[in-house]
Amino acid sequence: MSLETIEVIPKQPYVTQASLDLITRRNAAKKAGYHDNATEIDKLVHKSIRNDKQTYMKEELRSHATQGLAESWPVLKRKRAGYKPKQTKLIQNDVTRPVQERAKVLADHYANQQWATKPTPPLPVRPVMYEEQAPIVTTDFTRLELDSCIGEAKKNKAPGPDEISADLIALIDDSNRDDLLALFNKCWQTTTIPDDWKEAFVVAIYKNKGHPELAKSYRPISLLNALYKLYARLIQKRLANALEPRVRNRQHGFRRKHSTSDPIHTLRRLMELFEATREPLYLLFIDWEMAFDKITREGLICSLRRLHLPEHILSVIGNMYQHTPFRVRDSDNVSQQEIQSTGIRQGCPLSPYLFILFMTVLMHDVEVSYRAEMGNAVHTHSAADPLFDLEYADDTVLMSRSSHSITKLLQCRQKEAEPYGMALNRAKTKLLVVNGPPAGVVTFTDNTPVHVVGDNESLEYLGTVLNRKGSPQITLTTRLARAKQEFNKLAQFWSHANIKTALKVRVFKQFFIRWSSMA
């Protein structure tokens, strides 16, 4: 049988010539109409490519692992990477758009829906929370501050529109660093930055949930200009040095010497205490609708003013968030420029810290509002130090001893958040009651009941699994299963004879111990 052949170009580096020959034979059989033959050859193609990939990964592990963990890390990272869907067509206004228009469709969704300005109640006029102005340094930045921020910048990250990476900035000499410092200080003194610093490339990352043909299933990550990020880092460090005492002590997100272990540990110990006394404990797990994307810029500055930041700092931050353009970059396609009107920028070193400052003000107002309605503070353990909330950035747990007080807390939270453009994700906001079913219905402001976690249900909070029994067994089982899954992804690494045992132990501790440990 003589078949016409067409040259095949490999799409992956591990595909061998033998596999390419099989692909050529399969394609020729299809073209000639020999479909049964093509099906049989197709099976051989898949088998051959699987073998090619295994051989390629083994060789990569062998060549890199002899050099150490740093050199092996990219290979191990690829081995652990989960499923990533291929680019698909996106649906816009019930019409399926071609793949070439993905960037345009995503940009339109972000500009006109996710980041669009929507009507909100007016911001309440309230006094500052502190009489003394926050002791933030407002003098010019020093060379020591600049060198510190350059050294702390994350390396090997994708650059923004300026195509300058942090790795490149780290290489500039003393003279150029002095020039850079002078530029930053001019921006600081005038409270303005160049407009082109504000532009961002937005990359859409699939959330691993939701329909892959819908734009809302993709999380926007902003790739910002290198000078903007360095300037933002300088400001963030000054804010953090001065404002740590003013950040709510129940907030554990984006802070030094804080981690997810802190709220998890507190929550578990509290559940154990109530389990021992057989008293009911109401735990309400709050979920926001795109919290980082929906907070209004006006509301953000208002919350910073409540913490009594100097007006100079407010002007600097206000200018950074005034007119923030972006373009979506998707594969080889780039959209037209659009404007992000609300929310903070995911990818900016300053944004996460600004968000926890906002959350500090919000929870302060929730507490004041609750006291005004109920006459006293809600507490679960000690009236002297009322504990009724735990936060890790926007992940929030409200706690109470009764359905009535937890309902009031929830509704106060809703009312206080609305002027800032924040709304709850009702489908994901859940109530967990330790020691028995709830004595009463917990409702939102419109009297819609909150979903109650049943006896055979569980929920996940910051990576730990919780149920009504309060037993850590379900968390331990889940973590061990995840650890085993991670372990099996690196089967070739563990069994490779040319990789030193010491390196295998280091990798084992990095992956397996981290996944299997619990608070």
In a domain, 82, yes or no: no
Q: Give one word for 252, left, alpha or beta, with left for phi > 0 and alpha for psi -120 to 50.
A: alpha
Same domain for 61 and 153, yes or no, is no
Q: What is the mean pLDDT of the chain?
A: 88
Highest mean pLDDT: which range of 312-316, 433-437, 478-482: 312-316
**198 vs 157 pLDDT, higher one:** 198
Same domain for 155 and 286, yes or no, is yes
Residue 380, pLDDT > 80, answer no
Residue 96: beta bridge partners? Answer: 91
DSSP string, 172-183: --HHHHHHHHHH
Residue 369, pLDDT > 70, answer yes
Element (H, E) at 19: helix 17-32
Same domain for 486 and 441, yes or no, is no
pLDDT at 331: 81
Q: State the number of CA atoms in the 13 A half-sphere of 324 facing the CB.
A: 27
Same domain for 185 and 320, yes or no, is yes
**373 vs 13 pLDDT, higher one:** 373
pLDDT at 237: 97
Residue identified by tokens 């410092």 is 181
Same domain for 445 and 482, yes or no, is no
* Angle of helix 17-32 versus helix 35-65 axis, rounded to 10: 160
In a domain, 409, yes or no: yes
Instruction: Note the pLDDT tens digit of each residue in 271-297.
Output: 989 988 889 999 999 999 999 999 999
In a domain, 454, yes or no: yes
Same domain for 461 and 494, yes or no, is no
In a domain, 75, yes or no: no
pLDDT at 83: 58
Residue 5, pLDDT > 60, answer no
Same domain for 333 and 421, yes or no, is yes
pLDDT at 349: 94
- Token readout for 435 is 């020691």
Residue 11, pLDDT > 50, answer yes
Q: Worst-scoring range by mean pLDDT, 75-89, 259-273, 406-420, 449-463? A: 75-89
**127 vs 508 pLDDT, higher one:** 127
* Angle of helix 174-190 versus helix 226-243 axis, rounded to 10: 70
Measuring CA to CA, which residue among 373, 412, 422, 418 is closest to residue 389? 412
Question: Number of structural domains, the chain?
Answer: 3
Q: Report yes or no: 442 and 406 within 8 Å, Cβ to Cβ.
A: yes
Q: Report yes or no: 284 and 450 within 8 Å, Cβ to Cβ.
A: yes
Instruction: Count other Cβ atoms within 10 Å, centred on residue 141.
Output: 20
In a domain, 324, yes or no: yes
Same domain for 346 and 282, yes or no, is yes
* Residue-level length of the chain: 519
Q: What are phi and psi of 466, to 5 degrees?
A: -125, 145
Mean of pLDDT values over 302-320: 98
Instruction: Note the pLDDT tens digit of each residue in 100-153.
Output: 899 999 999 999 999 999 999 999 999 999 999 999 999 999 999 999 999 999
Per-residue confidence band for 316, with pLDDT thresholds at 50, 70 and 90: very high
Same domain for 489 and 450, yes or no, is no
Same domain for 148 and 197, yes or no, is yes
Segments forming the whole domain that contains residue 40: 17-65
Mean of pLDDT values over 352-375: 95
Instruction: Count other Cβ atoms within 10 Å, centred on residue 295.
Output: 25
Determine the Cα–Cα distance for residues 88 and 210; give it in Å rounded to an integer: 13
Residue 466, pLDDT > 50, answer yes
Determine the Cα–Cα distance for residues 9 and 82; give it in Å rounded to an integer: 26
What is the separation, in whole angstroms, between the first and last Cα of the chain? 67
In a domain, 11, yes or no: no
Q: Worst-scoring range by mean pLDDT, 146-160, 368-382, 494-508? A: 494-508
- CA separation, residue 376 to residues 187, 370, 371, 405 (Å): 47, 8, 5, 11
Per-residue confidence band for 61, with pLDDT thresholds at 50, 70 and 90: low
pLDDT at 495: 78
Same domain for 278 and 364, yes or no, is yes
Instruction: Note the pLDDT tens digit of each residue in 217-241.
Output: 999 999 999 999 999 999 999 999 9
Same domain for 166 and 259, yes or no, is yes
In a domain, 2, yes or no: no
pLDDT at 1: 47
In a domain, 193, yes or no: yes
Residue identified by tokens 């195509």 is 163
Q: Report yes or no: 380 and 282 within 8 Å, Cβ to Cβ.
A: no
Instruction: Note the pLDDT tens digit of each residue in 432-460.
Output: 999 877 778 999 999 999 999 988 888 98
